[in-house]
Structure 1
Amino acid sequence: MSATISLDFPFTGRWTVQNSPADRVPSHGTDLFATALAIDFVPVNADGRTAPFTAGSLVRPEPPERFPGFGRAILAPADGVVVAVADAALDHPAYRGLPSLRYAMTQRRRIAEGWPALAGNHVMIGCGEAVIALCHLRHGSIGVEVGARVATGERVGECGNTGNSTEPHIHIQSMDSPDPSRARPVPMTFRGSLPRNGEIIDAG
């Protein structure tokens, strides 16, 4: 396993932590596609909450625009060079309640389709020997191209709901190759530590 890479948070504002490798490895329940040490951040409002759960949430999909972080800026977490960009996937509805169970039943199909179906729109940034992937970005929001140099804190896209995502959030992973099917995960810290599940990050 490669040495730990130190990153900044790829956002500002308040976000809650999910699927952290501080609590479990593999963090996403699988070693596929170098996701064993990946982490998710879900945008929340000033009260630390995502979109209110209503009777409608229980029985039908919800538009991603209903969620507080849809469209929030996603930032480069380190200096580097953009090595891959994908921006063709459309944002799909969010799935909670019973719709989330139906969505889970299609998980095997998405895995079989490979990395693009899981990551949705994404940007990969080469940072020394590591490649950082920022996934589930909003359709049409990516503002960088392959070969561009980016600085820490530079806007690269917006939080969306593309790929394997039940509500708008950002998935970030570090790996030793831009090919997730062959890469090995690289451990990450954020501002010197690794947040745990349920922790609310206020990145300013």
Structure 2
Amino acid sequence: MTPVDLRYPFSGPWLVQNSPANRVPSHGTAAFASSYSIDFVPVDHRGRTAPIRFATWVRPEPPTRFPGFGRDVLAPADGVVVALDDHQVDHDAHRGLPSVAYVLSQGRRAAAGWSALAGNHVLIRTDAGPYVALCHLRQGSLAVAMGSRVKAGDRVGACGNSGNSTEPHLHLQAMDHRDPTTANAVPITFDGHLPRNGVLTSP
């Protein structure tokens, strides 16, 4: 399948995780058209997320501790907004021991459907054809509405920690149909390339 070429949906330093450049399916499952999905974790100028401290290992942390919580998320392509959700609460982050219990509860969220996994999100029907989903956005941050026409680089919302997310990050995936339960995953490139896991800085 021909990849859809996108612009990075952010500026500044972000950590690439779960990239299809490293494995496919990138998240260990093909469910919900996620085979080629990619996670971007916002980091500080040193390439780090929230510092690890003793409390990190024993209890959840507020998402406001993380440097990228609330950082702008941009449209990765020209297109039209065809679905969105902005009502889901940003929950605490789970690292260390709390992450074990959180991961074990993932099946319950999956059973609740794609929206429960995606959290607050924007789905764009790109002019190139595929649909691109931007997920785990911050509650109340959406800058678009149903039917909004967006250009690549327009602000659509902010990075949050809603849905199936252990810390604030942006999940991006492309599909050939708007319904992720029946759609096929579409490969992604960014300016002709696919980033491997690691820190990148976008202008």
Judge same fold: TM > 0.5, yes or no: yes
Give the corresponding residue for 1:189.
Answer: 189
| Deviations 1:130-188, CA, capped at 9 Å, x for gaps | 00000000000001011110001000000000000000000000000110000000111
Alignment of 1:14-53 (within 5 A): 14-53=13-52
SS in 1 for 2:156: strand
CA distance in 2, matches of 1:161, 1:191: 27
SS in 2 for 1:65: helix
Counterpart of 2:147, as a letter, is G
Give the corresponding residue for 1:61.
Answer: 60
Give how far 1:191 is off: 1.6
Give the corresponding residue for 2:142.
Answer: 142
Unpaired segments ≥5 residues, structure 1 = none
Runs of 4+ in 1 over 3 A off after TM superposition: none
**Identity of aligned pairs, percent?**
60
CA distance in 1, matches of 2:96, 2:44: 21
Give the corresponding residue for 1:173.
Answer: 173
Give the corresponding residue for 2:95.
Answer: 96
SS in 1 for 2:157: strand
| Deviations 1:61-99, CA, capped at 9 Å, x for gaps | 000000000000000000000110111100000000000
RMSD: 0.6
Give the corresponding residue for 2:107.
Answer: 108
Give the corresponding residue for 1:132.
Answer: 132
Counterpart of 1:107, as a letter, is Q
Give the TM-score normalised by the residue count of structure 1: 0.98
Give the TM-score normalised by the residue count of structure 2: 0.98
Give how far 1:23 is off: 0.7
Count of residues paired in the alignment: 202
CA distance in 2, matches of 1:76, 1:108: 30
Counterpart of 2:38, as a letter, is I
Unpaired segments ≥5 residues, structure 2 = none
Counterpart of 1:52, as a letter, is P
